Amino acid sequence: MLKRLTFFLLLVMVAWGYEPLIQNISGRTTTSLNGAWNYIVDPYENGYYNYRYRPFDEAEDPSKSGGYFANQKPVNPWDRVEYDFDLSETLEVPGDWNSQREKLFYYEGTIWLKKSFDYNRVSVDNRVFVHFGAANYQTDVYLNGHKLGMHKGGFTPFNYEITNLLKEKDNFLIVKVDNKRKKDEVPTVNTDWWNFGGLTRDVQIVEVPETFIKDYFVQLGKDSKRTIAGYIQLDGVSKSNRKVELLIPELKLRKKLKTDELGRADLSIISKRIKYWSPDNPKLYDVIIKLGSEELHDQIGFRTIQTNGPDILLNGESIFLKGISIHEENPLRGGRAHSMEDARLLLGWAKELGCNYVRLAHYPHNENMVDLADEMGMLVWEENPVYWTISWENVQTYATAQQQLSEVISRDKNRASVIIWSMANETPVSDARMVFLKKLRDFTLKQDDTRLISAALEMHGEGEGGLTRKISDPFADYVDVLSFNQYIGWYDGLPEKCDKIKWAIDQDKPVIISEFGGGALQGLHGDSLTIWTEEFQKYLYRESIEMIQRIPQLRGATPWILVDFHSPRRVLPVIQDGWNRKGLIGSNGEKKQAFYVLQEYYKSLPNPSKNN
């Protein structure tokens, strides 16, 4: 059965034109395709389907079919071509379309984008790829009129080889990005965040030698404090039986390896001198991988992460995760965050709050966030967008969820900051959902067994007035860290209720409260029982913090949320106006009173990284 499913998944991937990801784009020879792209709004997908609703890219001669990907131009005065990218407006890439044009703020559908460029290869023998940091949600990609493939998932990278299609002059890269929400997709139709569409992250051309270092995994092996383990994977016609080298000069390590027939070399190197990466000392080593004249550089930290009963052990020592949840949005600029400046703003705020840990909710954030987290010593929870009620029984839905998870693991497996892979958020208990989540978990462990598995679950009330709280979700048996969202005092009674709650969490596992909080409009004041005021939110935070501290296994929390974020579910005029107001910082960048309550709590904990 499993074999059949794997085969099916492979078929699906091949049919869609997926290609394995190239690791470490910033360490390679790249040319940016960021900047102004011409765009055409196409709500009826007129540039994709003919009037019989047949895709133009399946036509006998797609270049003359009417499909926008062909970028047709009239040659004769009587030629009828009913679109013209070059006369159309432009959008900035990277960037969502919603925040760039008022008329596109609520738009959900297809937009075509085009970039024209010339390209001179560094060497004629090199191979060339086009790499997208992310595009939300479904992206069909065409170069010079030829389809490269289609990718689903709004938050993970993908790339296509363009070696044989690329010209020195007048290339045109055309993408059709469609952000329509669909029931069987991941995420599904129902979420509590803005569905920002478009080419939301960098687009780059990557040039590599014919046979090159495509991927590598260099971390401490599972539960090992001394053995750097993993692999190097080559790609190209002469990838087998090749000599590759891994160097970590500061550790005086130089390891010569040979690839097998599949171009892979497994590595296992012992070093007794490793200085461990931690929030107190985010030590990164220069790591160099060599293949002939190709040299790839990375900065990698080494640390262990384990659990022992209720403890989370970082490098063998118990740690308390002082965290905050974050959406990928920069409220000051407006729209999806993507740049290093955005990352500095968001993680800078988290640092000021006293955090050593962040939950990147509810989907993989851009690579700058994890790169900066590595540099700053911020521990990270990364999350797959399996959110609320998705189509648990649909094989295609599962394939899409797994593929997105595989892409973020592939991208971030060398980042020491990432300690938890979260499978899902607030998903309702059922047999089909258990099968789905267990499969995702097993898949994750096969890709990377060095990190912890979790999921943001829900808890339930029992006993008199439902005041005794438990976790009865069967998926709790399959996670390393028990996490749950709870809104006592907000969706569940008033803040005073917090005092009455009794915890009866039986599992002998660390508990991280993945969400708690409530809304307040920055600058709105009143007494602590007037909803939407800063005082109400502050009171709620005080009560919540007291309440969660009564959980014996509590080892961390990521309250909801660092900053207000856009959500079409939040329509209350004057107060919300399209924003979820549960931020500790308002959409204007100003801190609310509750910010300081949480900051005080985090400061009161014994040591920046420990709380034994």
CB of 430: closest distance to ligand GCB in angstroms? 18
CB of 431: closest distance to ligand GCB in angstroms? 23
Phi, psi of 279 (to 5 degrees): -60, -35
Between 109 and 461, name the residue whose CB sits nearer to ligand GCB.
461
Q: Which of 160, 349, 560, 602 binds ligand GCB (CB under 6 A)?
A: 560
Q: Which residues within the stretch 361-390 sit at the binding site for ligand GCB (CB under 6 A)? A: 362
Q: Which of 138, 402, 417, 425 binds ligand GCB (CB under 6 A)?
A: 425
Between 148 and 521, name the residue whose CB sits nearer to ligand GCB.
521
CA 533 to CA 519: how far, in whole Å?
A: 8
CA 389 to CA 189: how far, in whole Å?
A: 9
CB of 153: closest distance to ligand GCB in angstroms? 18
Which residue's entry shows tokens 């600029």?
Answer: 333
Q: Which residues within the stretch 158-197 sit at the binding site for ligand GCB (CB under 6 A)? A: 192
CB of 519: closest distance to ligand GCB in angstroms? 7
Give the three-state DSSP class for 86: helix
Whole-Å CA distances, 58 to 54, 67, 151: 8, 10, 18
CB of 474: closest distance to ligand GCB in angstroms? 20
Contact 173, 117 (CB under 8 A): yes
CA 19 to CA 568: how far, in whole Å?
A: 35
Between 161 and 426, name the residue whose CB sits nearer to ligand GCB.
426
Site track for ligand GCB across 446-475, x = CB under 6 A:
------------------------------
Phi, psi of 415 (to 5 degrees): -95, 115
Beta-carbon contacts of 572 under 8 Å, excluding residues fewer than 6 positions away, are none
Between 62 and 586, name the residue whose CB sits nearer to ligand GCB.
586
CB of 102: closest distance to ligand GCB in angstroms? 25
The reply on whether position 422 binds ligand GCB by CB under 6 A is no
Between 69 and 484, name the residue whose CB sits nearer to ligand GCB.
484
Q: Which of 202, 407, 426, 564 binds ligand GCB (CB under 6 A)?
A: 426
Contact 140, 175 (CB under 8 A): yes
DSSP for 184-227, please give it.
TSSS-S--SS----B--S-EEEEEE-SSEEEEEEEEEPTT-SSE
CA 590 to CA 600: how far, in whole Å?
A: 18
Between 555 and 582, name the residue whose CB sits nearer to ligand GCB.
582
β partners of residue 115: 173
Q: Which residues within the stretch 482-541 sit at the binding site for ligand GCB (CB under 6 A)? A: 485, 515
Question: Which residue's CB atom is positioned nearest to ligand GCB?
Answer: 192
Site track for ligand GCB across 566-585, x = CB under 6 A:
--------------x-x---
Site track for ligand GCB across 314-333, x = CB under 6 A:
--------------------
CB of 426: closest distance to ligand GCB in angstroms? 5
Query: Residue 230: in which H helix or E strand, if any?
Result: strand 227-235
Contact 179, 89 (CB under 8 A): no
Count of residues that bind ligand GCB according to CB under 6 A: 9
Whole-Å CA distances, 398 to 6, 149, 292, 408: 12, 20, 40, 16
Between 66 and 586, name the residue whose CB sits nearer to ligand GCB.
586
CA 275 to CA 48: how far, in whole Å?
A: 55
Return residues touching ligand GCB (CB under 6 A).
192, 362, 425-426, 485, 515, 560, 580, 582
